[in-house]
Amino acid sequence: MDDSQRVSILSEALPYIQSFSGRKIVIKYGGSIMEDEKLKKAFFRDIALLSSVGVCPVVIHGGGPEINSWLNKLEISPKFENGLRVTDEKTMEIVEMVLMGRVNKHIVRGINKTGSLAVGISGLDGKLIQSRELGDGSHGLVGEVTKINPELLDPLIEKGYIPVISSIGSTVDGISHNINADFVAGEIAAAINAEKLILLTDTPGILKERENPNSLAKQINLKEARKFIEKKVVSNGMRPKTECCIRALAQGVKAAHIIDGRIEHSLLLEIFTNSGIGTMINA
C-alpha cells in the first residue's frame, strides 16, 4: 500500500470518526478470532484505535474453546443441548475461573499493550449483570439476563477506560450463571444507550442463501430480520445472534452488526468505510 492509498483510507474514515466520536459501541468478541494470534493482535489494535479517536468501545466476551480445554484437562466431559452448554456446579467453577481469570485478563493485557487503558470486570462486579435460570432449568446454571446495572460502567467510560466484561451473571442470592455472550452484549448495549452493537462471528454475516457465501445481506431492517428467522433463512447458531440484535434494536440501539471476525481489522472495515464488511440491521 502506497502513501496515497493510506491517505485515501484516512479521508474516507474521517466522517465516520467525527460521527462516532463520544459514542458507545458494544463489541462481542468471540469465535475463532480468540484462538488466532494474528487476529487477536489486530483486534486489540482496532479497539485501541477506536478509543484513540474518541469512540467509547465496550468489549463483551465468552470463551468456549478455553473452557472446553480446561474441562478436558480435568476430565470433565462438556455437554451441550440445543447449542447451549449444560452447566453443573463443577462446570460452573471452571467457567468462572476461565472467563473471569484467564480469558478476561488476557484480553485486558492485549489491549493495554497497545497503550490503551482496559479494565477487566465480570457480571458479578457491582451487580452489573443480574440473571435468572434459563427456561426450565434443564441446562443447569445457564442463565438469562434480568437486569443490567449501567452505573458501574458509566464512570469507567467517562474516564476513558475500556470495559472488558466476561459473560457471567448472578441472581440476587448470589448464584452464578453462565450466560450467552451475544445476549449479554445486546442487553448491555441497550442499557448504556450504545450507538452500535457489533457481534464478531465465524461467518460473513446473514446470508440470504445459507450455503452461498456470495449471498450476504449487507443491510436489512427489523422486519426483514424477523422474516429471515420465520422462513428459517437464519437458523442454528445464527438465529440467537440475530434475535439478540433484534432485541437490542427494539430497546433503542441505533444499529446492530454481524461481521466476520476471521477477516483482519473487520471491526474497522465495518465502522469506518463506506462499503462495510458484514450485515447491518437497522430499526
104-109 LR contacts (CB < 8 Å, sep 24+) = 104/61, 104/164, 104/166, 107/29, 107/44, 107/59, 107/61, 107/164, 108/164
Q: What confidence score (pLDDT) does residue 145 get?
A: 96
Asked if residues 238 and 203 have their Cβ atoms less than 8 Å apart, the reply is yes
Mean pLDDT across 95-104: 93
pLDDT tens per residue, range 25-77: 999 998 888 889 999 999 999 999 999 999 999 999 988 778 888 888 888 87
CA angle 181, 182, 187 (to 5 degrees): 95
User: pLDDT-based confidence at 1, cuts 50/70/90?
Assistant: low
Q: Which CATH number fits domain 21-282: 3.40.1160.10, 3.40.462.10, 3.30.413.10, 2.60.40.2470?
A: 3.40.1160.10
Q: What confidence score (pLDDT) does residue 2 get?
A: 62
> Using CA atoms, how far apart are residues 56 and 18, in angstroms rounded to an integer?
13
> Domains of the chain: which residue ranges?
21-282
Q: What confidence score (pLDDT) does residue 122 get?
A: 95
Q: What confidence score (pLDDT) does residue 33 get?
A: 86
pLDDT tens per residue, range 200-259: 999 899 999 877 888 999 999 999 999 999 988 888 778 889 999 999 999 999 999 999
Say yes or no to pLDDT of 5 above 80: no
pLDDT tens per residue, range 142-196: 999 999 999 999 999 999 999 999 999 999 999 999 999 999 999 999 999 999 9
Q: Which residue would you say has higher pLDDT here, 243 or 86?
A: 243
Q: What confidence score (pLDDT) does residue 11 get?
A: 83
